[in-house]
Amino acid sequence: MTFLLTCKDFLRELNEFLDPSSTDPAARQELEKHVNECPNCWVVVDTTKKTLKVFKGMQASEVPGRVKDRLMAALERKMAARKPGGCGTGETHASE
């Protein structure tokens, strides 16, 4: 029986695909086959890989202080724009 991956299957396995240590070789082969045959998923993988590289690059090299400050300021402004109590501090779920 031939096991054909659909795009949905592939996207569900995308994390595994991008983390080879957690994928078994047979499954990985199927995923690779799908990427090679499916332009849509190829673009997804390509974009995700590039994004991951950017993030890793940012961690490896130092983020200039000013850029970081600006990022943090932008984040804080975004958070402040939200209604208070929305996120972050502690459990919001009622105990059972």
Contacts with Zn ion by CB under 5 A lie at: 7, 38, 40-41
Name the residue nearer to Zn ion (CB basis): 7 or 67: 7
Tell me how far apart the alpha carbons of residues 13 and 24 are, in angstroms, rounded to a whole number. 12
Name the residue nearer to Zn ion (CB basis): 42 or 55: 42
| Closest C-alpha among 21, 22, 51, 29 to residue 10 | 29
Least Å from the CB of residue 43 to Zn ion: 10
Name the residue nearer to Zn ion (CB basis): 47 or 73: 47
What 3-state DSSP class applies to 54?
helix
